[in-house]
Amino acid sequence: SQQGEEDPQALSIQEGENATMNCSYKTSINNLQWYRQNSGRGLVHLILIRSNEREKHSGRLRVTLDTSKKSSSLLITASRAADTASYFCATDHRGGADGLTFGKGTHLIIQP
Amino acid sequence: ETGVTQTPRHLVMGMTNKKSLKCEQHLGHNAMYWYKQSAKKPLELMFVYSLEERVENNSVPSRFSPECPNSSHLFLHLHTLQPEDSALYLCASSQGSVGDSYGYTFGSGTRLTVV
């Protein structure tokens, strides 16, 4: 299977702490993307990192990519209650409009 | 609103019914997608349309029939569904074309229940 697998499946932390989620995949990628989904809603694109990049930042988000280990991590710093959601990594294996492959997601709960 | 609108938001249908899901985007994207999201399973890619041409059909049962009349609209026609087809159906669009990679914009989904 090409799909990414997020780890952990669920994570509960206190507001203000940092949250780290990991994603592993099996075949080479063109890019890797992270999405957030609030309960029963559509997914929201957070960040895209290309295969030749190692780290990207966007606000309180930091994504790393290690293509040698076929893994990525998403760090959310100074978490807020509004960050409570499911987070998915998605891999683009062929580039272009061929469809992303999603993992099962990490359910993040921020305790106030 | 994300720029991708799906209707209806909720749909309950019998196994013998015929219904259609609609997706609309006015973001100028040239690729559109249907995904199925079932409980405790990864999102499953169902159909990809790029420049109104179907690019991929991931072995989806024929009871699901997509239609893309233009680059802004995408339909999923449903007939004689099974209870296991109950899921959240998500539409997405992107600027993707061969060799390019962009993030997807998702609609809010249609929650389908087959009874």
Cα torsion through B80, B85, B90, B95, rounded to 10: -70
Residues in chain A, overall count: 112
pLDDT band at B39 (very low <50, low <70, confident <90, very high): confident
B6, B96, B103: residue with CB nearest A97:
B96
pLDDT at B57: 76
**Model confidence pLDDT, tens digit, residues B86-112:** 999 999 999 866 556 788 999 999 999
- What are the angstrom distances between the C-alpha of B67 and each of A32, A35, A69, B6, B75? 28, 26, 40, 14, 5
A44 chain-B contacts, CB cut-off 8 A? 2, 106
**Model confidence pLDDT, tens digit, residues A64-74:** 999 999 999 99
Low-confidence ranges of chain A (pLDDT < 50): 1-2
**Model confidence pLDDT, tens digit, residues B40-82:** 788 999 999 987 788 777 789 999 999 999 989 999 999 999 9
pLDDT at A2: 45
> Using DSSP, how many helices (H) and how many strands (E) does chain A show?
0, 11
pLDDT at B95: 86
B88, B97, B103: residue with CB nearest A45:
B103
**Model confidence pLDDT, tens digit, residues A34-47:** 999 998 789 999 99
Longest CA pairwise span in chain B (Å): 42
pLDDT at A3: 64
